[in-house]
Amino acid sequence: MEVIQMFERLEKILTKKEFVKIKSLNILLVGIGGVGGYTLEVLVRMGVENITIVDYDVIDLSNLNRQIITTRENLGNSKVLEAKKRALAINPNINITTINEKINKDNYLDLFKNHYDFVIDACDTITTKLLLIIYCLQNNIKIISCMGTGNRLDPTKLEITNIWKTSNDPLAKVMRKELKERKIDKKIPVVASKEVPRKINDRTPGSSALVPSVAGIYLASFVIDISLKDKR
């Protein structure tokens, strides 16, 4: 009964068919940090019941300023296990699978032993992003990828766009170069910022809660929007 009541307000703005469609989605979410944590939060609160989350990292003190799954009580714990715990505390009916691994060329194919309606790339590693994007393009799997959110403070500069149309995003620029070298020119939806990154004297980017959180929400929003527009 509690779960039914949980979605009472959501069902006021969705048809029964739309809500069932959202519930039945099977999503692969790679990266559960500053961006992916908010993506998971929205998917769960929107009623998605089948989600696989992938991350190899543990929670540390520097994550507290921006990652929604983190608290001082879970420092040192696995991100995927803490994310699963949080998700089930919101909706105990969901089917959430955790993969605590760093994804690379040797194991990425293992991710696709199951069928997914959508892949969401919220990871930080360019090589992993390329592996996911190329596989999904080759196998007709819907995917959206998040570009850089570091060294930025203005969430209003974020947009959902085509990777070939981004601006002021060094990560997207590198991705385009890599894709061109592989002779890939297909449209690839991404969340990217038009904000010029702040210059810092450190290879590790700075980050606030403002931009990654909204980027994560945009990723989830895109998946929900595309799914509802699908007439099947």
Q: Note the pLDDT of residue 192.
A: 98
In contact, 38 and 217? CB cutoff 8 Å = yes
Q: How far is it, in rounded angstroms, from Cα 124 to Cα 35?
A: 10
Provide the domain limits for residue 61: 2-229
Token pair recorded at residue 52: 């696989």
Q: How far is it, in rounded angstroms, from Cα 77 to Cα 58?
A: 5
pLDDT, one tens digit for every residue, the chain (232 residues): 566 689 999 999 999 999 999 999 999 999 999 999 999 999 999 999 999 999 999 999 999 999 999 999 999 999 999 999 999 999 999 999 999 999 999 999 999 999 999 999 999 999 999 999 999 999 999 999 999 999 999 999 999 999 999 999 999 999 999 999 999 999 999 999 999 999 999 989 999 999 999 999 999 999 999 999 987 7
68 burial level (CB within 10 Å; 0-12, 13-18, 19+): buried
Angle at 161 between CA 223 and CA 220, to 5 degrees: 20
User: Helices 210-229 and 16-24, interaxial angle, to 10°?
Assistant: 120
Q: Note the pLDDT of residue 35.
A: 98
Domain at 41, CATH number = 3.40.50.720
Q: Count CA atoms within 13 Å of residue 75 on its CB side.
A: 8
Torsion angle in degrees (nearest 10) through CA of 79, 142, 38, 12: -130
Q: How far is it, in rounded angstroms, from Cα 132 to Cα 188?
A: 12
Q: How far is it, in rounded angstroms, from Cα 222 to Cα 228?
A: 10
Q: Note the pLDDT of residue 231.
A: 72
The dihedrals phi and psi of 182, each to the nearest 5 degrees, come to -95, 10
Counting the structural domains of the chain, the total is 1
Token pair recorded at residue 113: 């032993």
Token pair recorded at residue 186: 């297909």
* Closest CA relative to residue 26, chosen from 94, 123, 83: 94
Residue 102, SS3? coil
Give residue 72's identity as a one-letter amino acid code: R
Question: CA 31 → CA 16, 57, 85, 203, distances in Å?
Answer: 31, 9, 16, 20
Q: Note the pLDDT of residue 230.
A: 84
Tell if the pTM clears 0.85, that is, is over it. yes
The secondary element (H helix, E strand) that includes residue 161 is: strand 158-162
Q: Count CA atoms within 13 Å of residue 89 on its CB side.
A: 8
Residue 230, SS3? coil
